[in-house]
Amino acid sequence: MGKPTGFLEYDRVEDTIIPVKDRIKSFKEFHTALDSEARRDQASRCMNCGVPLCQSAMKLSGMVTGCPLHNLIPEWNDEIYHGHYEHALSRLVKTSSFPEFTGRVCPALCEKACICGMNDNPVTIHNNELFLIEKGFKEGWMKPRVPAVRSGKRVAVVGSGPAGLAVADRLNQRGHNVTVYERDDRIGGLLMYGIPNMKLDKSVIERRRKLMEAEGVVFRTGVDVGGDGENAVSADELRAEYDAVVLCCGAKKPRPLAVPGFEEVEGVHYAVDFLTNTTKNLLAGRLSAANGSGASKRGRKKKEEDLISAKNLNVVIVGGGDTGNDCVGTCVREGCKSVTQIEMMPKPPVERAESNPWPEWPKVLKTDYGQQEAIEEFGDDPRIYETTVKELVTNKSGRLTAVKTVQVKFEDRQMKEVPGTERTLKCDLLLIAAGFIGCQDYVAEAFQVERGPRGTVSTSTPETYATDKTKVFTAGDMHRGQSLVVWAIAEGRHCAKEVDEYLMGYTTLE
């Protein structure tokens, strides 16, 4: 423990956030890091607890609190306080494959379990982590680690999201020859095309790609494994060519809207399609914030380059989670006329209920960056709780003009409408951010792997990764269902260990 009185002397200070009026002018990241001295003060607040729950990943009341990667948080906080930044970084990357991702987009399960947060504000673990990895890249400490010996074993990883990247990174470091197949034009999966640029600048993903390529990982983008297009590769080809195949294709089958015929209405899009389209146009230079420049289409996308723009439109978003919030922030930047976010569940309390004590995950109201921006722009919180969309209203040409909503309540785990609560909202653009219901069918069908009731690929237990087909493994959302980036990385690391043992008969991976 570097400074025994640190948690008494210093208040929690987070990275500076650029004001709303300034940050919505671009799609750039909007947090500014503290300087090294201030960061050392924040690290000194870590109490080096005898039982550091921050790194525990305990399941309490059905929810996990603490880091799924079991990061050695007290150790590197202590090293930060003493100014031993390079050594602190070495302790961080020992357990965390991509701190530059989790340091930006993780909801910080570690901080929710921080003992300092029991009676005060928790340590800024999330910001400390990002500080370390960014300093490591800046100072040149993040150098390629090329394996001295190669095993001669070949592994194909299908999907380059956080789970696939973690599998590839670990197996490559073990000395296996790893090729990652990605159907999109860029690696990253939902890191690239599901998380907006203002949360995770895409140059960060490209930086990691270059490092992994220098270490020996091969990336093949634009290749659709199991598909039937021009650039498709069959499951049989991969099984024949590689000693092991790892499926990390995510859980990208979106949950549909419970309104018949919604897919035929112009102006209705799944949230991930909208966010993907926005990022692709941004990277291609066809989009700028509050501008909506580009080939804007109010209806359904006609060509890959067409922009699904929210500019001057009344937007309704179905779904109150992180993806819905990302859609709010994106629509505000594109210059929407209004934005409403609909959530079926009740509004959470502002403070913990007695039935939700520390260190359980706090089931409290969170007003995220997108909602903050909507409040600043339009004067009201965009969220409407205990409500769902009941009907879509269109004009004669089939274009969306409004949605009819109704309040709901849950009785005996069944959602029921509340009579007399119908309401009509103007809506030119409806975005469905209601979650996902498993992996897309065609890859699982191509490999003929068994799937469970949640639409994910089955393994003998939730903690194992071998499928029912020889030499075929799975990890990440494709295995556990829709989850967090940190869980995908943890799954990728654990899966790599199992694959290594399969290939070699033993494993040295932790």
Identity (one letter) of the amino acid at 171?
Answer: L
Q: What pLDDT, on the 0 to 100 scale, is given for residue 412?
A: 86
CA atoms within 13 A on the CB side of 214: 10
Write down the pTM of the prediction: 0.95
Give the H or E element holding residue 225. strand 224-225
Q: Are the folds of 154-253+437-504 and 262-432 the same?
A: yes
User: What does the angle CA 161 – CA 165 – CA 171 come to, to the nearest 5 degrees?
Assistant: 150
Please classify residue 473 by burial: count the beta carbons closer than 10 Å to its beta carbon, then call 0-12 exposed, 13-18 middle and 19+ buried.
buried
Low-confidence ranges of the chain (pLDDT < 50): 291-304
The conformation of residue 77, written as its DSSP 8-state character, comes to: H
Beta-carbon count within 10 A of 66 CB: 25
Give the H or E element holding residue 414. strand 414-417
Residue boundaries of the structural domains of the chain: 6-138, 154-253+437-504, 262-432
User: What does the angle CA 21 – CA 23 – CA 24 come to, to the nearest 5 degrees?
Assistant: 75
Q: What pLDDT, on the 0 to 100 scale, is given for residue 1?
A: 67
Of 232, 226, 233, 228, nearest to 443 by C-alpha is 226
The CA distances from residue 397 to 34, 226, 394, 432, in Å, are: 53, 37, 8, 22
Peptide bond preceding 359 in cis form (omega within 30 of 0): yes
Q: What pLDDT, on the 0 to 100 scale, is given for residue 296?
A: 45
> What is the architecture, at CATH level 2, of domain 154-253+437-504?
3-Layer(bba) Sandwich (3.50)
Check if CATH label 3.40.50.720 holds for domain 262-432: no
Q: What pLDDT, on the 0 to 100 scale, is given for residue 302?
A: 45
Q: What pLDDT, on the 0 to 100 scale, is given for residue 493?
A: 98
Beta-carbon count within 10 A of 121 CB: 15
pLDDT, tens digit, for every residue of 108-136? 999 999 999 998 999 999 999 999 999 99
Of 497, 488, 490, 59, nearest to 252 by C-alpha is 488
Give the C-alpha separation, 498 to 495, whole Å.
5
Cβ atoms 197, 190 nearer than 8 A = no
Cβ atoms 313, 355 nearer than 8 A = no
E strands of 170-212, at which residues? 177-182
Which residues 6+ apart lie within 8 Å of 5 measured at CB? Answer: none
Q: What pLDDT, on the 0 to 100 scale, is given for residue 306?
A: 84
Task: Specify the CATH class of 6-138 in words.
Answer: mainly alpha
Strand partners, 179: 156, 218
Q: What pLDDT, on the 0 to 100 scale, is given for residue 39?
A: 97
pLDDT, tens digit, for every residue of 33-77? 999 999 999 999 999 998 999 999 999 999 999 999 999 999 999
Please classify residue 375 by burial: count the beta carbons closer than 10 Å to its beta carbon, then call 0-12 exposed, 13-18 middle and 19+ buried.
middle
Please classify residue 147 by burial: count the beta carbons closer than 10 Å to its beta carbon, then call 0-12 exposed, 13-18 middle and 19+ buried.
middle
Q: What pLDDT, on the 0 to 100 scale, is given for residue 290?
A: 63
Q: What pLDDT, on the 0 to 100 scale, is given for residue 299?
A: 43
Identity (one letter) of the amino acid at 271?
Answer: A
Compute, in degrees rounded to 10, the torsion defined by CA atoms 193, 194, 197, 201: -70
